[in-house]
Amino acid sequence: MKVIRFFGDIILAVVLCMLLVALVLLGYGRAMAGPWQITPASSELAPGQWVWVGDRPLHVRTWGPDDGQPVVLVHGLDIGGSAVWAPVTAPLGRAGYRVITVDLPLLGYSSRDTAQDVSLRGQADALATVLNQLGAQNAAVVTQGWGGAVALQVALEQPQFVQSLVLIGPQLELGIDRYERQIAGLPLAQESVTWLMRGGGPVWRVLLRRQVSTNSAPFKTYAQAAREASQIEGTVEALTAFYALDEATNQPTAIRSLRMPCLVVLGEHDRLVTAERAADLAFEVGAETLTVVGAGHLVALDQPDALRRLLLEALQP
């Protein structure tokens, strides 16, 4: 009986400690979320140009000749946005491609206006609108994470913009854990949880580090760029919009009807996308699969040289 009580006391102590840590983190997040966002939304820090979708600006950068084959790089669901592609953009431009990166709505340096449609279809429409304004049709579209879902939606509904697809660490779902959603739904907790998990807080930094296999120079550069993007005014409120999206209705449908060349790429040490899930998606879209040795989820940061070689080969006609 004493043994049972002893272990019961230990379990209770552990639970109480976990609750205390959670309360301290939530309190810290609530205190920090507001002061963290110090950069004006109209900041001149953005290194690229603006393309307007309706009355909202999206941040766009380009490399290479204007008459080159368009290569569009689409990031995943992370506040750093298109900065994740920094190690490969200039080399692809020097190879003669017209490289285009777009910060999707609410992410990177793009508009934080929460009135815009940030569902999968809304993101796909925004991307297609940017490509239309840039005259970038029949593009080779390279994606990271949830950016694959956005690009697939564009390819299915507006195929004039997509000639081929390279899906890196593809995620058809948002990837927001149900426990994170539940905690964010608690009274007074949403702002705190959003900053801690998505908007530059300490938990976000830990989760970001888990997306790479090495603490490389490209990763450190990206982490700094993402930190700067997270400090733009309105970021925390903007990111809460993703909690309201339904996972079931924010995935591309009818992907078996896709009729274009497609390649699925996975990092050897990807902690977010399993080899089985990547293989299943490749089967659905009739794609080949390649594994990048030594890379985590963010292949462009872990193995930029290997990814550049892979893309240059894949982009050959």
**pLDDT digit string (tens) for 27-83?**
666 676 778 888 887 666 788 899 999 989 999 999 999 999 999 999 999 999 999
pLDDT of residue 190: 87
Helix (H) / strand (E) containing 157: helix 147-157
SS3 264: strand
pLDDT tens by residue, 5-18? 655 556 655 555 66
Which of 87-91, 157-161, 186-190 shows the lowest per-residue confidence on average (mean pLDDT)?
186-190
- Identify the pLDDT of residue 68: 96
Q: What is the CATH number of domain 49-314?
A: 3.40.50.1820
Residue with tokens 């539940």: 182
Task: Kindly state the percentage of the chain with pLDDT values over 70.
Answer: 89
Task: Quote the CA–CA distance of 137 and 150 in Å, as a whole number.
Answer: 16
Specify the residue for token string 């659905």: 284
Q: CB 57: neighbour CB atoms within 10 A? A: 20
Query: Rounded CA gap, 297 and 300, in Å?
Result: 9
Question: Alpha-carbon distance 69 to 63, whole Å?
Answer: 11
Count helices and strands (H / E) in the chain: 12, 8
Q: What is the pLDDT of residue 250?
A: 87
In this predicted structure, the answer to whether residue 218 has a pLDDT above a threshold of 60 is: yes
Do residues 126 and 72 lie in contact, with contact meaning Cβ atoms separated by under 8 Å? Answer: no
Report phi then psi at 253, rounded to 5.
-110, 165
pTM, two decimals, is: 0.92
Q: What is the mean pLDDT of the chain?
A: 90
CA–CA distance from 126 to each of 87, 116, 253 (Å)? Answer: 25, 10, 18
Nearest-angstrom CA–CA distance, 125 and 154:
7
pLDDT category at 86 given cuts 50, 70, 90 is: very high
Domain range annotation of the chain: 1-33, 49-314
pLDDT of residue 42: 66
pLDDT greater than 80 at residue 308: yes
Given this model, what pLDDT does residue 247 score? 86
Return the pLDDT at 183: 82
Q: Please tell me the predicted confidence (pLDDT) of residue 188.
A: 77
